[in-house]
Amino acid sequence: MSDQKLTIPKHIAIIMDGNGRWAKQRLQPRFMGHRAGVKAVEGIVKRCAQLGVEVLSLFAFSSENWRRPGKEVSLLMELFSHALNNQVKKLHENNIKLQIIGDISGFSSSLQKQISQAHELTQHNTGLILNIAANYGGRWDITQSVRQLAGQVARGELAAEDISEEMINRHLTTASLPEPDLFIRTGGEQRVSNFLLWQMAYTEFYFTDVLWPEVDFGQLNIAIDSFSRRERRFGRTSEQLQDDSDA
């Protein structure tokens, strides 16, 4: 499959599922699966940059993941910190902008400092935007946006009847980004699990049984090829799309 045959999405969002099962299949602790998952991230980030994808959003840690066993959560935080220490400079050298979305106040002060430093180092880069959702939930994102608007109403700065979808969107954590064109979930599950709920209203979904640590360039190309074959109507008819293309 050649890259020329693919319609490249501007924004790809991924739930990287299957790390624990990958490790279990190999009789390894779950943490080894998460470590292998980080290696897969490196490859997919590189591939997306090569293809000209503008934004890659990865669901690294959901607000519900705090319910996991304490030891696993602690190891995930260590892995997140280690990845920031070891990868941010490389991202910067490759003109990749890193941003973390989510309620980072839930993290340790040292991890919050690392996140702030990563943002500062890469903020002016003009290549791929690597958007990492950490302690993130789609419902939380919508709630915090609406809460900001409610504050404006309470202060008399905005009339409730003037609140629009565009205003809500403007206060989401992804306000500066295009909406996802393609959503990929690995590991066989077929649900969005509270990820970018508002933003994925018209996103194309692609599910695969492949476990995240096994995802490579070929798997990504298969997902993008599937996307390329979709007819994206956004509420219009096929005939209207044809008329537009003929105009």
Which active-site residues does the annotation give?
17, 65
Residue among 193, 223, 229 at smallest CA distance from 56: 223
Q: Is 98 helix (H, G, I), strand (E, B) or coil?
A: strand
Residue type, 79: L
Q: Answer yes or no: are the C-beta atoms of 111 and 85 closer than 8 Å.
A: no
Cα–Cα distance measured from residue 130 to residue 47, given in angstroms and rounded to the nearest whole number: 12
Residue type, 141: D
Residue 28 has a CB neighbour count (10 Å cut-off) of 14
Cα–Cα distance measured from residue 29 to residue 24, given in angstroms and rounded to the nearest whole number: 7
Q: Is 221 helix (H, G, I), strand (E, B) or coil?
A: helix
Cα–Cα distance measured from residue 73 to residue 58, given in angstroms and rounded to the nearest whole number: 18
Cα–Cα distance measured from residue 37 to residue 16, given in angstroms and rounded to the nearest whole number: 8
The secondary structure of residue 178, as a DSSP letter, is P
